[in-house]
Amino acid sequence: MTTSHYIAGRWVEGQGSDCISVNDPALGLPFAELMAASVAQVDQAVAAAREALHAWKQTSTGQRAAYLRGFAEQLGQRREALITLQMRNNGKPRHEAEIDLDDAIATFNYYAELAEQLPQKNCDVPLAAPGFTARTRLEPVGVVGLIVPWNFPLVTSAWKLAPALAAGCTVVLKPSEVTPLIEQTYGQIADTLGLPAGVLNIVNGKAETGAALSGHNGLDKLSFTGSNSVGSQVMRSASAQCRPVTLELGGKSAIVVFDDCDVEQAVEWIVAGISWNAGQMCSATSRLLVQDGIAEALLPRLQAALENLRVGNPLSEEVDMGPLTSQAQWLKVASYFATAREEGLQCLAGGKALDRDGWFVSPTLYVDVPADSRLWTEEIFGPVLCARRFATEAQAIAEANDSRFGLVATVCSADLERAERVADALEVGHVWINSVQAVFVETSWGGTKGSGIGRELGPWGLSGYLSVKHVTRCLG
C-alpha cells in the first residue's frame, strides 16, 4: 500500500516534488512515506478517466451494480487490516474504526441497489400540448474529481465513489495527504474485480496536487469535503470552468437540551457528539445550549463524564477517545486553549494538551461562554465543548441558528411534540432527536449556509452525479 498512485489501471510511483509522511498520531512518529503526484500525473489520471468514460457509461446498470457489490465484499474481506490502519493512521478507537468500515460497505451495497433502479427513471413525460411526445433520460455527468478529507477516510470516499460509479461516471480520487494509505484499497479492489482501466484513478499529494485536480479543465464535476478555506478555493477554481460542485464543509453545531430530559441520557448524547473521532467532525455538536432548569444537575455530571473518558493509544489500550490525527490539528486545538485563557473562559474539564507522547488533548468543557467568543463561533475540530444556558424554546432556536454554519443539530427533550417543532425550526441539513449521531446511507448529508452546497447519501447523492436530458418529438 505504499505505491503512491493508481492511474489507468496501473500502480505508479509519484513524480511530484512533495514527500508525504504518514504518521501514527498516538506516537507522533512516521511509519510510511509517499512521493506526491506531479501535475503531469494528474493530467494523466484525468485523461485516463476521459478515455474510459464512453465505454463505462455504456455498461448496463446491472454490471455497475455487480462491481459495487464487489467493492463491498472486498472491503469486508480486508476487514481487520483496514480497521487496524484506521486505528494506526487516524487514531480511532477500534469501535469507531469498525463502524467506519461497516458504513463504507453499506454505502456500496446501497448504491448497487439504486443503480439497478436507474432504468426505471428513464420514462415518458405527459404533455398538456397535443402533437408531441417527450421522454426523460438520466445520464452520467462525466469525469468527476473527488477530494476527500482525513477525518473519515474510506467512508467519505465511499460516499462519493459509490454513487459516481453507479451513475456511470469515471473518477479521479485525491485522498488527504494526512491519511493517504487506506484509499489505496480501492485501487487494489479495482484490480481484483477487473474494473476497466481508467474508471477509477487515485492520485495522492498535498496542495499542489489538489489545486491541479480542482482546476483541471478535463473534469465535468468536482466533489469536495473539507474546510471552508479550501472549499472556497475549490469553488473559485470551479467557477472558472462553470463546473458544478458539491461542497461538504464545516460546522459549528448545536445540541439543545431541555429541562425535561433524563440527565444521564442527555450526558451520553452530549459526550458522544463532542468526543467521537476526538471531536474531529464537521458535525460535532460543540455548542451546548442547556435550559436553566436542568443546568445545575447536568453540568457537574457532564464534567465528570468527560474527565472519565479513557484517552490513549487505540492499538495498545482499550480507549474511548484516541489522539488528534495530525500535529497541525493538535497545535490548532492547543491555540484555542490559549485563546480561552486569554478570554477568561470558565473551564470545568480539560483545557490542555496531555503530557505524553503523541497528539493527545483532554476532553474539554467551557461554561457560560459568551456568544461573541471565538470558541463559540469558530470550528475548532477537536473535543472542545462550549456551553450556554437558555430560558425559553424561542431563545434556544434563535441561539442555535445564530451561526454562519448550518450542518447538523441535536434536540433532547421528553416532549416529542416540542422536539419535532424545534427540529423543524433549526436552519441545518440534519437533526437528531434524543439520539447519538446515527448516520444512515438512506438519508441525506449536507448543510445550509456556510456548511456547503448539495447533498450526499440517499438518492440525493446519486442525483448529484446524473444530468437530466429530455427528448421531445413532434408527431406531425
The pLDDT profile of the chain, 476 residues, written as one tens digit per residue, is 556 899 999 999 999 999 999 999 999 999 999 999 999 999 999 999 999 999 999 999 999 999 999 999 999 999 999 999 999 999 999 999 999 999 999 999 999 999 999 988 889 999 999 999 999 999 999 999 999 999 999 999 999 999 999 999 999 999 999 999 999 999 999 999 999 999 999 999 999 999 999 999 999 999 999 999 999 999 998 888 889 999 999 999 999 999 999 999 999 999 999 999 999 999 999 999 999 999 999 999 999 999 999 999 999 999 999 999 999 999 999 999 999 999 999 999 999 999 999 999 999 999 999 999 999 999 999 999 999 999 999 999 999 999 999 999 999 999 999 999 999 999 999 999 999 999 999 999 999 999 999 999 999 999 999 999 999 999 98
pLDDT at 2: 54
Same domain, 197 and 267: no
Is 14 contained in some domain? yes
Catalytic annotation on 282?
Answer: yes
Same domain, 201 and 105: yes
As for how many domains the chain has, the answer is 2
Same domain, 166 and 267: no
Same domain, 433 and 468: no
Cell (9 digits) for 194? 477487473
pLDDT tens digits, 409-455:
999 999 999 999 999 999 999 999 999 999 999 999 999 999 999 99
Give the predicted TM-score (pTM) of the model. 0.96
pLDDT tens digits, 338-386:
999 999 999 999 999 999 999 999 999 999 999 999 999 999 999 999 9
pLDDT at 198: 98
CA distance 349 to 248: 31
CATH number of 76's domain: 3.40.605.10
Instruction: For residue 46, give Cα distances in angstroms to 124, 240, 279.
Output: 35, 18, 35
Same domain, 267 and 244: no
Is 229 contained in some domain? yes
Instruction: For residue 6, give Cα distances in angstroms to 35, 166, 172, 184, 357.
Output: 13, 20, 9, 8, 34
CA 402 remoteness from chain centre: 23
Sequence-ordered list of residues with C-beta below 8 angstroms from that of 22, at least 6 positions apart, any chain: 30, 31, 32, 33, 34, 89, 179, 180, 181
List 169, 183, 261, 282, catalytic entry? 282
For residue 126, give the amino acid letter: P
pLDDT at 121: 85
Same domain, 91 and 229: yes
CATH number of 323's domain: 3.40.309.10
What is the extent of the structural domain holding 142?
A: 5-249+451-474
Is 445 contained in some domain? no
pLDDT at 238: 86
Is 212 contained in some domain? yes
pLDDT at 278: 98
Catalytic annotation on 378?
Answer: no
Is 404 contained in some domain? yes
Paired residues of 134 in beta bridges: 472
Same domain, 71 and 219: yes
Same domain, 242 and 291: no
List 183, 248, 399, 456, catalytic entry? 248
Same domain, 310 and 377: yes
Is 288 contained in some domain? yes
Paired residues of 37 in beta bridges: none
Same domain, 333 and 225: no
Sequence-ordered list of residues with C-beta below 8 angstroms from that of 118, at least 6 positions apart, any chain: 61, 138, 166, 167
Nearest Cα to Cα of residue 407 among 196, 255, 290, 190 = 255
CA distance 207 to 10: 24
pLDDT tens digits, 119-140:
888 899 999 999 999 999 999 9
pLDDT at 476: 82
Same domain, 229 and 312: no
pLDDT at 328: 97
Same domain, 242 and 131: yes
